[in-house]
Structure 1
Amino acid sequence: MIKISQAAADEIQRLKSKQKQKNLLFSLAVKPGGCCGWFYDMAFKDEQTFTDGDRVFICNNIQIVISTETLEHIRDLTIEYSEDLMGGGFRFYNSQANSVCSCGNSFSVSSEQ
């Protein structure tokens, strides 16, 4: 199950409110690339762009759409948001990752999964 902290949910809602189109859903995917092999891709998308293989979860009043391919890489993912002297940002805590780059946005998983 995906977890979104209250601070991350608040920031997602804030970002969503700035979108011109109002009926967008929060999408989370992982894509090949980054320092370690996979990176997180977050976006707001129109529900018409989703496929039958996508699943919708609700966490802290956020509807999050995740493809079945992505789910295998992010089971038990926790998304947090924090601000510090260097600025704000989302933080990802992925129990599936066996290594994470220093920025925290790229990860690798065991080839056995």
Structure 2
Amino acid sequence: MTQTTQSQPGIQMSEAALKHVLALREQQGTDLYLRVGVRQGGCSGMSYMMDFEDPQNVTEHDEVYDYDGFKVVCDRKSLLYLYGLMLDYSNALIGGGFQFTNPNATQTCGCGKSFGA
């Protein structure tokens, strides 16, 4: 298996997002990566997806980005839609949670979890 580790991440994370993901991973109790991708669906045609991934499931078709030892994985097909994405996190009571700022999106849904490109 060959992994590509980029020094300039195609998917960027704010410090708040990284801290929250690390806390969630700690609850899982294992050394997992974060997989970010897209799938068909959602209000605007495509929706974002995020889940933890076992490192053994990472393939040569994935791009791997390193954040001080924490790895973010994205398949190359999703990366076509996500390159330059900024993942942020907010603790706000209204509108809080993960927020996606995608420079490739031509339209976004009001919920911020789906987009069109």
* Same-fold call, TM cutoff 0.5: yes
Q: Could you tell me which residue of structure 1 aligns to residue 5 of structure 2?
A: none
Unpaired segments ≥5 residues, structure 1:
none
Q: Indicate if the aligned counterparts of 1:2 and 1:59 stay in contact, CA closer than 8 A.
A: no
Higher strand share: 1
Identity percentage of aligned residues: 35
Query: What do residues 8-41 of structure 1 show as CA deviations (whole Å, max 9, x unaligned)?
Result: 0000000000104x12111111111100111111
State whether structure 2 residue 50 is matched by structure 1 residue 42. yes
Q: Give 2:104's aligned amino acid.
A: Q
**Which of 71, 75, 80 is matched with 2:79 structurally?**
71
**Which of 6, 9, 12 is matched with 1:3 structurally?**
12
- Please, what TM-score do these two structures have when normalized by structure 1? 0.88
> What SS is found at the alignment partner of 1:97?
coil
Q: Indicate if the aligned counterparts of 1:6 and 1:60 stay in contact, CA closer than 8 A.
A: no
**RMSD (Å), alpha carbons:** 1.4
Unpaired segments ≥5 residues, structure 2:
1-9
Q: Indicate if the aligned counterparts of 2:25 and 2:31 stay in contact, CA closer than 8 A.
A: no
Number of residue equivalences: 108
| TM-fit CA distance, 1:83 | 1.3
| TM-fit CA distance, 1:2 | 1.6
| TM-fit CA distance, 1:55 | 1.2
